[in-house]
Amino acid sequence: MMPQLQGTRVQPLLETLTPFLVVTPYNRPYMNTSPFGLTIPEENIFDPTQVGSEIFLDLLQTMDALTFGPEGMPMARWVFYDASELPGGIYGFGMNAGDIPESVRAEYEIPSDYTGLVPFSMYIAIPTPENGTWFGHNLASLNPVFPTLGLKSLGTVTKAIALRTFQAEVQVGATQWDSEALFIHTRFGPLDLETAYTPAHSEIITLTYVVPCTESAILGALGDSEHQIQRPEPHWWMRADDQERMRILQQRIEAGDRFTIPHKPRVVDDGTTLEVPVHEYGA
């Protein structure tokens, strides 16, 4: 185990999982293929411009359907290629097909003659024109789909190690106020809001955020007790179904007021609704 990762959320997952990276040859030189000393095996680096990567990329799309299909937001094949694999990269963890229980193989629809790596998580990010700033396009983990496999914290671990692989200094993201992904994203630090109500998105209750990707913040997200993230106290809580308040918050953002989501949401109404904490800078 790499010294920096000992005792973190990464350690138990590495007993069964191994990292992978989908990246083009011209983007690969900009990647850190050994983040925190966790080296990506050469056979687990997939070039999307090569036909030989087809089966693995098929499995990535199947995983996306398993995680986002029920929510109605799975990615089309061309989105993977045009908006993910070509301009950016996909990092994740997988398991050798031969080590996967037969019941999981069947639900996953893994080809019977396939013996290679099967993806169990992925984080997709795309670089922006601002050097060091990456847009987090997609985070997926099969932990909720296959809870018996012991994949706790896989989403957090995947995002954390991916950010070091991409050598991101700042991460921009878009998610919904009612998304449980906020429990993961807020682990990396307070999320400074760029939008609170977003008609440009197909999901109007989308929020856009920015968060620094310092090494200390990433290690803190991984559960390293020596790296504590400083967080302000919330001034109020946003209900994930309160579109009117989202509109008001958006108006204030556009007027120049600044807000952040300081920490994880809470669940209310007998587990049916999220409330998200909001801190106002200068209040």
pLDDT tens digit sequence for 232-256: 999 999 999 999 999 999 999 999 9
Bridge pairing between strands 18-22 and 89-96: antiparallel
Q: Assess whether pLDDT exceeds 80 at residue 69.
A: no
- State how far the Cα of 84 lies from the Cα of 94, in Å rounded to an integer: 19
The four Cα atoms 212, 201, 241, 158 give a dihedral, to 10 degrees, of -40
| Cβ neighbours of residue 71 closer than 8 Å, sequence gap 6 or more | none
**In the beta sheet, which residues pair with residue 239?**
275
pLDDT at 72 over 60: no
Whether residue 259 has pLDDT greater than 90: yes
* Whole-number pLDDT of residue 74: 67
Question: Mean pLDDT, to the nearest integer, of 186-213?
Answer: 97
Mean pLDDT of 168-189: 96
Judged against a pLDDT cut of 70, whether residue 143 lies above it is answered with yes
In which band, very low, low, confident or very high, does the pLDDT at 202 lie, cut at 50, 70 and 90? very high
Q: Evaluate if residue 1 carries a pLDDT over 60.
A: no
Check residue 73 and give its pLDDT.
Answer: 59
Highest mean pLDDT among 98-102, 107-111, 120-124: 120-124
**pLDDT of 191 above 90:** yes
Tokens of 239: 């209900």
Beta strand pairing call for 18-22 and 45-46: parallel
Give the lowest-confidence range in 101-105, 137-141, 162-166, 215-219: 101-105
Confidence at 2, pLDDT banded by 50, 70, 90? low
Section 211-231 average pLDDT: 92
pLDDT of residue 12: 86
**The tokens 């998610």 sit on which residue?**
175
Question: Could you give the CA distance from residue 242 to residue 48 in angstroms, rounded to a whole number?
Answer: 41
DSSP state of 272: T
